[in-house]
Chain A
C-alpha cells in the first residue's frame, strides 16, 4: 500500500508569511495528488488536485507542485482564514491521506 508522509506536523506562522507543506509518497504516484484544508467541525475542502490544478473558487495564493513522490503545497501570503489543518491525499487507487499539517498562529 502507498503511504503518504507530510511535514511538518505543525507549522507556526504569521499573517503575510509564505508557508510550504511537503508530502512524500512511498512510491511514485505521478500527479495523482490532492490537497485539502480542514477547519474544526467542518468537512475537508478541496484546494488542489492533479498536484497543481487549483480547484474553482480557491484563492490564487494557494499553489501546488511536484510529481512522482515529492509534492508541495504553498501559501504565498498567509491570511487569517488560512489557519487550519491541511492534508495531502493520493487518489489513483483508493484514497490515502497524509497525517495532516496544522498551521497555527505564531
Chain B
C-alpha cells in the first residue's frame, strides 16, 4: 500500500524550531520529487517547499524562504522539513505529498506556534 506518514508536529514558542518527518512506503521513494503543503486553521492549502528526486534541487515559498529547509534521506525513505524562527502564522497542518504523482498525501501533522 502506498503511504506517507508524517510526524514531528507539536506546540512550539515563537522563534523556536521543529523538524517534521515523512516516512514513505509502497513506492520507490528515490524516484519521485516530494513536497510539503500546509493548511492554517480554517484556511486553504498553501504550498511550502519541494525537493527533487535526488535531493539536488530545493524550492521554497517566499513565506518560508530562509527559515525552512527541506531534505530527504533515501536510505530511510524519509522526507524532512526543518522549521526555524517559527512564527504564529506558521501554525497549520503540514502535509507531505508526492510532487510528481499528485495523488499521494500523508494524513498531516499539526504545528502550533504560540507562547
Contact = CB atoms under 8 A, between A and B. Distances in A.
Interface of A: 34, 36, 38, 42-44, 46, 49, 55, 87, 89, 91, 94-100
B44 A97 contact: yes
B44 A43 contact: no
A95 B103 contact: no
Contacts, number: 40
B95 interface: yes
Given A43-B95, A94-B50, A87 B103 contact: no
Interface residues of B, number: 17
A46 B98 CA distance: 12
B45 A100 contact: yes
A97 B103 contact: no
Q: Which of A46, A55, A94, A95 has the most CB of B within 10 A?
A: A95
Q: Which 9 A-B pairs have the closest CB atoms?
A: A95-B47, A43-B105, A46-B103, A97-B45, A100-B44, A99-B44, A46-B102, A43-B95, A49-B102
Interface of B: 35, 37, 44-47, 50, 59, 61, 95, 99, 102-103, 105-108
Contacts of B47: 94-97
A34 B102 contact: yes
Contacts of B59: 94
B50 A87 contact: no
16 contacts: A34-B102, A42-B107, A43-B106, A43-B108, A44-B105, A89-B102, A91-B102, A94-B47, A94-B50, A95-B37, A95-B50, A95-B99, A96-B47, A97-B45, A97-B46, A97-B47
